[in-house]
């Protein structure tokens, strides 16, 4: 009796899809997993550790909730708005990415066929990677999720969790999908030739600008929290930061949509730039403040990762070092000097400085890509032939201007749309927590606390000769106000 092997396990036979490349498919799924680990548990741990103890649970949960909510919204309608058929020059047609017929066919980004100026002759064909649509949908999903989680960093310590639950799907739908389609999915910036290799604009610039815009609408933390906001666990913060750094191999290495030589260049450049940026930020702290800051080192690491992202697979190693030097100094200057002297930035409470680490670093990386994009590397990835950075002559100067215009579009769209979203939500519910919640923190918002320390959140019960948990309806007031410890 002949043994029948399921088709999913076949390869290099007449019954297997001729487009399937198991190496590419493996790398894409690994890359997606690495990017997912940046968020869960990476940023969940980082956010829960870098904030004051009373906000650890809330901060971690904002990240966890966003990750889950984005997944459902993405497959229900947002993927096709970002990478489907064109509806408008900056937007795709909404639709589900859930059906078997859609998910098992070869991956394709429908609106990416690139034509010459006559609009009839194909310059670069549609992107059709050698794996199923399911791999592409999931890879792009974790990118969308981390954008929302990065944005949350501006709002920690005071945003109404119910307002955040509304904000996530609205911003994903009306902001993220526009940037993604415009620059990646086949929109007008994609066809014009604006470069964003892996999300310097789509993810980092948009989340940084939207974050500080939303922070303006939500308002600042309490005065006591703004004056003193020490991390509750620096070592765990470093663990989250490490997951973020190592996960960036999938972030930038997966964006050629293939396990090819361009992905190798991207991963190497990512680590070169991040390491350089971390060292420069640390040196600046030593020079000006006399001590190396661990939190500052993490910020320098992040700005380096963000800065290289729009050009990771398109620049040479020496350019990655220059980008690292600038990403370790320019955002440092805006955060440590400009922020403290500009009244508007002082008024807006950007909890984790996402504007500096992501918006400033993302825009810096995008413009530097317009200078350093190497022609041969560009030909491996970009749809517009003869693309090159400004230092390589020719049309490089035009490319630099395109990068500025592309960044301007992302900035303008996010300021306007994020403001509209926040205003509409405010009509239905407060954007900020109540004063009681702001004073108490996690226990009031979630009925949970991050750490069970001795005598913390417990009431002495003399009949039991020990401690017992207080009635959660009191939000821990009894423990803080009347407990007698012996």
Please give the pLDDT value at position 394: 82
Distance CA 237, CA 231 (A): 8
Please give the pLDDT value at position 232: 95
Contacts of residue 50, defined as CB under 8 A and 6 or more positions apart, other chains included, come to 59, 231, 237, 240, 295, 352
In the block, residue with structure tokens 């809330």? 58
DSSP of 102-114, one letter per residue? Answer: HHSSBP-BGGG-E
With the CA atoms of 435, 440, 443 and 446 taken in that order, what torsion angle do they form, in degrees rounded to the nearest 10?
A: 30
- Assign 122 to helix, strand or coil: strand
Q: What pTM did the predictor assign?
A: 0.90
- Assign 426 to helix, strand or coil: helix
CB 304 within 8 A of CB 297: no
Low-confidence ranges of the chain (pLDDT < 70): 1-15, 453-486
Please give the pLDDT value at position 146: 98
Please give the pLDDT value at position 363: 98
Contacts of residue 301, defined as CB under 8 A and 6 or more positions apart, other chains included, come to 241, 244, 245, 274, 277, 278, 281
Please give the pLDDT value at position 171: 98
Distance CA 112, CA 293 (A): 45
CA angle 193, 262, 78 (to 5 degrees): 55
Phi and psi at residue 454, in whole multiples of 5°?
A: -60, 125
Contacts of residue 459, defined as CB under 8 A and 6 or more positions apart, other chains included, come to 467, 468, 469, 470, 478, 479, 482, 483
Distance CA 306, CA 363 (A): 9
Please give the pLDDT value at position 118: 85
CA-to-CA separations, 72 to 12, 66, 86, 214, 370, in angstroms, rounded: 35, 10, 22, 23, 35
How many whole angstroms from its chain centre is CA 11?
36
Distance CA 396, CA 383 (A): 16
- Assign 229 to helix, strand or coil: coil
* Largest Cα–Cα separation, the chain: 88
- Assign 65 to helix, strand or coil: helix
- For 374, half-sphere exposure in the C-beta direction (CA atoms, 13 angstrom radius) is 15
How many whole angstroms from its chain centre is CA 107?
23
- Assign 460 to helix, strand or coil: strand
Which tens digits make up the pLDDT trace of 6-27? 555 565 554 578 999 999 999 9
Domains of the chain: 31-111+118-438 (1.10.3430.10)
């Amino acid at each position: 009796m002949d043994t029948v092997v399921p088709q999913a396990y076949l390869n290099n036979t007449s019954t297997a899809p001729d487009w399937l490349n198991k190496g590419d498919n493996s790398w894409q799924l690994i890359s997606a997993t690495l990017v997912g680990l940046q968020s869960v548990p990476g940023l969940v741990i980082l956010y829960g550790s870098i904030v004051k103890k009373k906000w650890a649970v809330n901060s971690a949960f904002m990240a966890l909730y966003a990750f889950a909510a984005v997944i459902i919204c993405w497959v229900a309608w947002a993927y096709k708005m970002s990478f489907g058929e064109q509806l408008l020059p900056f937007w795709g047609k909404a639709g589900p990415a859930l059906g078997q017929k859609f998910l098992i066919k070869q991956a394709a980004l429908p609106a990416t066929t690139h034509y010459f100026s006559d609009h009839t002759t194909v310059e670069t064909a549609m992107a059709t990677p050698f794996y199923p649509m399911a791999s592409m949908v999931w890879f792009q999903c974790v990118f969308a999720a981390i954008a929302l989680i990065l944005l949350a960093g501006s709002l920690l310590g005071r945003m109404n969790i119910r307002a955040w639950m509304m904000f996530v799907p609205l911003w994903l739908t009306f902001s993220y999908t526009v940037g993604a389609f415009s620059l990646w999915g086949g929109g007008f910036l994609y066809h014009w030739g604006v470069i964003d290799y892996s999300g310097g604009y789509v993810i980092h610039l948009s989340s940084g600008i939207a974050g500080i815009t939303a922070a303006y609408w939500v308002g600042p933390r309490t005065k006591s929290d703004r004056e003193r906001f020490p991390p509750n666990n620096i070592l765990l913060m470093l663990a989250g930061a490490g997951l973020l750094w190592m996960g960036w191999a999938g972030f930038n290495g997966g964006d050629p949509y293939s396990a090819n030589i361009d992905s190798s260049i991207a991963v190497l450049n990512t680590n070169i730039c991040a390491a350089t940026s971390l060292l420069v930020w640390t040196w600046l702290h030593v020079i000006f403040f006399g001590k190396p800051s661990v939190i500052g080192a993490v910020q320098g690491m992040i700005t380096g990762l963000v800065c290289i992202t729009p050009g990771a697979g398109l620049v040479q190693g020496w350019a990655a070092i220059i980008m690292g030097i600038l990403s370790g100094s320019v955002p440092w200057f805006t955060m440590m000097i400009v922020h403290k002297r500009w009244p508007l930035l002082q008024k807006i409470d950007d909890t984790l400085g996402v504007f500096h680490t992501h918006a400033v670093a993302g825009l810096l990386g995008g413009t530097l890509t317009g200078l350093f994009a190497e022609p041969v590397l560009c030909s491996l990835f970009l749809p517009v032939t003869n693309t090159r950075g400004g230092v390589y002559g020719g049309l490089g100067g035009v490319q630099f201007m395109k990068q500025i215009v592309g960044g301007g579009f992302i900035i303008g769209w996010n300021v306007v749309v994020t403001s509209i979203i926040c205003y509409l939500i405010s009509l239905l519910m407060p954007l900020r927590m109540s004063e009681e919640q702001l004073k108490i923190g996690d226990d009031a918002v979630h009925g949970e606390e991050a750490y069970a320390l001795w005598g913390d959140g417990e009431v002495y019960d003399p009949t039991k000769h020990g401690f017992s948990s207080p009635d959660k309806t009191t939000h821990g007031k009894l423990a803080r106000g009347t407990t007698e410890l012996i």
